[in-house]
Amino acid sequence: MLIIEYFAGVRIKDEILKRYATKRIKKKLRNKQAANWPGPLGHYLLGDISEVELLNRVSTIPILRERNLCQVNFVMAIKELENENIFAYKNKLKECIQDGPLAYLESMFYLAKGELEMLETGQTDKLL
């Protein structure tokens, strides 16, 4: 998933990887299908839509809502990490893993969980 590549670029401060992922996200977003989920996640990462607009595009169907919210909180965490706001990053990761059992299907759930474990065990020297 391109969002994971973008996260990796931000996380390890690899501008080349981040630019590559950004370029690929932009290309995907040109497709008409990007109006559907998960297109809004890419638009948010690129700064095309606001946090409020992103939240407004989350599904109202209970089964999909938890999964969408997990993804939304993860991309919001990425933006916080990009802005070097570790406290907000950690909070968004917590929100990502608290979205319920339906979010367990999302790879972002497990990545957020791993990042939180690293932060809580004091391995923040590896972060930023």
CB of 85 within 8 A of CB of 49? no
Residue 125 has pLDDT above 70, yes or no: no
For the chain, what is the domain count? 1
Q: Write out the E strands in 1-128.
A: none
Q: How far apart are CA 118 and CA 43, in angstroms?
A: 28
- pLDDT for 1 equals 81
Cβ-Cβ contacts under 8 Å for 48 (sequence gap 6 or more): 29
CB of 44 within 8 A of CB of 54? yes
pLDDT in tens, 42-86: 999 999 999 999 999 999 998 899 999 999 999 999 999 999 999
With pLDDT > 70 as the criterion, what percentage of the chain qualifies? 96
Residue 107 has pLDDT above 70, yes or no: yes
The label of the residue with tokens 């059992």 reads: 101
pTM above 0.95, yes or no: no
